[in-house]
Structure 1
């Protein structure tokens, strides 16, 4: 019996050791981390606008109810209505007319006033376009943007940090912070606490996304394999975006606000346990090479074009998230569960787009895939305001999600490729830039989108971001054949070894390198 237990423990230790060396298991961990992070990101989309509006509406109703008894007391002290069953007449008496009510039988005062009805007008599910609803655009937009803003500030520190201490510790730190943020969301009832929970999530997201993408880029060195792996990892992001809004809206409608966040907290604990046993964060090793400085990468025009594509494509959906539910409440009288279901077509199509073009973009040219995606984002977003009901949102939202999937699955691998081609092959900083671009879209989008929707209307908001995407699309052409820097080629040629010199070839507008393992071993000898 003891021998059997020893064999099981040995098998478990061997599985963990093999798992730390398994690229597929690392890909699974990154997939789950992005899935849960983006579920938390989007589960609040249908909950927060309705929750804040209900809280503000109930607060104003309580004020009116507490003020009404005083008003009725004053009215009752001044005027009284007496109905006579004898002659079916009604007399109004009060402080100013007490002298005339001394002989009511002599001076009957018939009245033609309408009877007071005990029933009130049926209340509509559609909120009125009042100042409370318009202010929600700004409040919700700022709350949604807080996460991306904090993530934007944190990323420049996380990128260089991963270059020094490795990817495992920041990855595990991201899980811990996400778990705390999820608990805060579950039990926060005020706008201030929800704002803090959303902001705190930004720090955890920065750790998870930068470390996760950098880890994949370091273990998948082949350009085609890296594109496929990142397409799968972005599928986790897409799954989170897909499941989050409907999951949040249904749970909020039928269970309550706390339930979806508690479920996410349990799933986060399982992910943390997997990271702890497989990655063993305490034994992380730093990068052997010193990476290119962050500001040097930011001066690279090709990296900036790729980052701009990520930013403006995701800014479209970032503007939709806070503004679309409020516009649906205002124009379509949508119920709570519909506010999240409206995003399902975009989420499904994003999942499809990332999985298809993670493989296809390498063959057709990532620059071309991104260019078409940017154009499709612009056209689809322009069609959103023409919807008259929730069914009219299916096609435009599907187009938006599919197009963003094309852009993300193309630009994420090309970021690592540009570093291989033009800089030192250490990926923490460049994926910090990619995450900064992603966060800029989700920071600028909701914060400015809410104000624009309030001032000039939701249709004009969609028109502005749609035109921006269409105008930016032609810049992707410059990524067709980016040149290698002379300094990088000189460093590679110094080794005077064909395996250490990366041979760049052009195939259908896609550059890639090939390393021969046999030659590499000979050069090492």
Structure 2
């Protein structure tokens, strides 16, 4: 009896704990972003292998990436036969004896010639195959980019629905719905064997992500009312997101290479099931009505300061979103990188993002979140410009690490800033503003992959990244406007003052008449 009472008391304390809510939100973001990035090293090669079942991409990776200059020993048939018609069969193509004699600078006088031909300047089947593979990989960037973008596009469409819905029924039911949808999406990824099925799985994940992200951030903003504490909590939650991004690519690449395509997704579905049970036990999903009148979505969308903060999140994430579908393919094409290397290349970005979000959660509040975002956008621009200059995977470490750290600066500064802006300029109800924040995040991950394939085909990988870097440089100075945004009272005073001025001018004009 006592034991039962003690357990129920402990369970009740757990359900009231802010820290446990933070853990649940962080785990949900971790798993969502693990699924988001696990597919990065898997999908490009998997789709290539579907199209070329007899000539899989893995046969060509980590092999030689230059034209062969090895001399080829070629045996000619007897010279008694007609030289002008006799053909030499060699890996580089078919040549008559006369052509070979011209290339060698000799004349055949014996019945049989065994000689060596240097084929340095001849077009070999290997070179032709490499050129063909290069074209196919570049073309594949478009469907891969569209698939990666589908999740963000669907999430973009779902956010304006989920945000206001949380005002009516609370955060716990949408959060649990997000788990269910993510679990189904993971299973479809595990067993999908065609582009269309995988596309549906990716799009479905967008609905689940919308529910988890908007509800999770709103829940944290509601539980952590103090601005400094909220910044710290959101930094930790975004750390969970970063950890998912960190683990996803190498996890997916290694499991795909050594176990199989289904393995990483089956493991993720088991972890998601555990998170769902934790939510069911601790959050007890139920309808909760909000007493405060929430700000309308229109009022938030037309607030210039909220749009500025949201825009910073979009531009900060657009660069890495463009890299997700294009960088693995660019590495396969220019470096012949294997699966695990394609996944590992995102490790420095993920590790530094984890550091950046946890560091600038509290530090952004101290130094000014506007300044952290401004510096972050400038650093992102420089790092994006360095990536195309890399000639080996080692050269990608520093720019990717800088990119991840700077994105962490922007995200961990602007997410709590959105909650702060709602507090001082609107009503402290957070579902809609974090729907806008998530829309901003999704805009980057929708526009980036969707455009990357087209841009790589038209202007090239290098100029695509230079372009987004220039946009980050242009947007960065606007962060200064968030230095001291006017509060609700100041806004009201300004409006009343403007109305008084209008009345005074009208009265003065009447008086003159």
TM-score after normalising by structure 2: 0.82
1:216 aligns with one of 220, 234, 237: 220
1:298 aligns with 2:297: no
Partner of 1:456: 459
Compared CA separation, residues 383 and 21, structure 1 to 2 (3 A): same
Aligned residues: 442
For residue 131 of structure 1, report the CA deviation from its aligned partner: 3.4
1:444 aligns with 2:441: no
Per-residue CA deviation, residues 287-344 of structure 1 (Å, 9 max, x unaligned), is 2112100011000000000000000100110001001011111111111111110000
Write the distance in 1 (CA, Å) between the matches of 2:459 and 2:390: 18
Write the distance in 2 (CA, Å) between the matches of 1:328 and 1:125: 17
- For structure 1, the residue ranges without an aligned partner over 5 or more in a row are 1-5, 62-87, 91-106, 491-525
Compared CA separation, residues 261 and 108, structure 1 to 2 (3 A): closer
Write the distance in 2 (CA, Å) between the matches of 1:399 and 1:343: 12
SS of residue in 2 equivalent to 1:114: strand
Partner of 1:58: 53
Alignment of 1:232-251 (within 5 A): 232-251=236-255
Partner of 2:188: 184
Partner of 2:110: none
SS of residue in 2 equivalent to 1:286: coil
Write the distance in 2 (CA, Å) between the matches of 1:488 and 1:14: 47
Per-residue CA deviation, residues 435-460 of structure 1 (Å, 9 max, x unaligned), is 00000000000001111011111001
Partner of 1:162: 166
1:28 aligns with one of 9, 12, 23: 23
Partner of 1:268: 272
For residue 7 of structure 1, report the CA deviation from its aligned partner: 3.4
Q: Do the aligned partners of 2:49 and 2:55 also contact (CA within 8 Å) in 1?
A: no
1:328 aligns with 2:331: yes
SS of residue in 2 equivalent to 1:58: coil
Compared CA separation, residues 126 and 230, structure 1 to 2 (3 A): farther
Write the distance in 1 (CA, Å) between the matches of 2:48 and 2:314: 30
Partner of 2:262: 258
CA RMSD after TM alignment: 2.3
Write the distance in 1 (CA, Å) between the matches of 2:385 and 2:212: 33
1:357 aligns with one of 351, 357, 360: 360
1:382 aligns with 2:390: no
Partner of 1:37: 32
Partner of 2:153: 149
Write the distance in 1 (CA, Å) between the matches of 2:405 and 2:358: 10
Write the distance in 1 (CA, Å) between the matches of 2:488 and 2:446: 33
Per-residue CA deviation, residues 475-514 of structure 1 (Å, 9 max, x unaligned), is 1000000001238878xxxxxxxxxxxxxxxxxxxxxxxx
For residue 58 of structure 1, report the CA deviation from its aligned partner: 2.4
Partner of 2:343: 340
1:279 aligns with 2:253: no
TM-score after normalising by structure 1: 0.81
Write the distance in 1 (CA, Å) between the matches of 2:167 and 2:430: 8
Per-residue CA deviation, residues 41-71 of structure 1 (Å, 9 max, x unaligned), is 000011111111122222789xxxxxxxxxx
Partner of 1:403: 406
Alignment of 1:426-445 (within 5 A): 426-445=429-448
